[in-house]
Amino acid sequence: MEATIKTPIELAHRAAQIAQEKKAEDLVILELERKVSYCDYFLICSGRNRRQVRAIAESIATTFKKEVGHPALSVEGMESGRWVLLDFGDIVVHVFDEPLRGFYDLEGLWKDAPRQSIPHFDGTEVQAASAI
């Protein structure tokens, strides 16, 4: 059944919800629509180990294809499970294992990009820190 998700931020929020359901940690949504031409948002999150990283990424990819009707245009890193990149066009999802996330520091690279609030699927919301 296809959901009625239409906007890029709705896609990013749905991906964040799926990641939360798989116990992803340290979720961040970066708004990049005025910074790059290839996407509007990054969702960055972490798993505690390679198995969890793959489970988070597989769940997002499968749900987007079946429920949202929006399959990934590209998937990189699924086999190693250290950094999985899911490209959905309007949003790019990065799922890291904890050590590699710190090494690549995408949040630092994009420190001037505005952070978006991430709703929790229990109805609460985490406020985003402003970009510096």
The pTM assigned to this predicted structure is: 0.86
Burial class (CB in 10 A: 0-12, 13-18, 19+), 103: exposed
Report pLDDT for 58. 98
Whether 98 maps to a domain, the answer reads: yes
Whether 107 maps to a domain, the answer reads: yes
What is the SS3 assignment for 122? coil
* Rounded distance between C-alpha atoms, residue 32 and residue 91, angstroms: 9
Based on DSSP, count helices (H) and strands (E) in the chain, helices before strands: 4, 8
Whether 131 maps to a domain, the answer reads: no
Rounded to the nearest angstrom, the gap between the alpha carbon of residue 100 and the centroid of all alpha carbons in its chain is: 16
Q: Read off the CATH number of the domain in which 68 is found.
A: 3.30.460.10
Whether 123 maps to a domain, the answer reads: no
Report pLDDT for 125. 52
Could you tell me if 87 and 41 are in contact, meaning their C-beta atoms sit under 8 angstroms apart? no
Question: Which residue segment(s) compose the domain that 109 sits in?
Answer: 8-118
Could you tell me if 30 and 108 are in contact, meaning their C-beta atoms sit under 8 angstroms apart? no
Whether 129 maps to a domain, the answer reads: no
Average of pLDDT values for 112-121? 86
Could you tell me if 112 and 105 are in contact, meaning their C-beta atoms sit under 8 angstroms apart? no
Residue 85 reports pLDDT greater than 50: yes
Give residue-wise pLDDT tens across range 43-74.
999 999 999 999 999 999 999 999 888 899 99
Return the structure tokens found at 91: 């949003």
* Cα Rg of the chain (Å, integer): 14
Q: Find tokens 């992803």 and name the residue.
A: 24
- Helix (H) or strand (E) segment spanning residue 124: none
- Tally of domains in the chain: 1
Give residue-wise pLDDT tens across range 32-51.
988 888 999 999 999 999 99
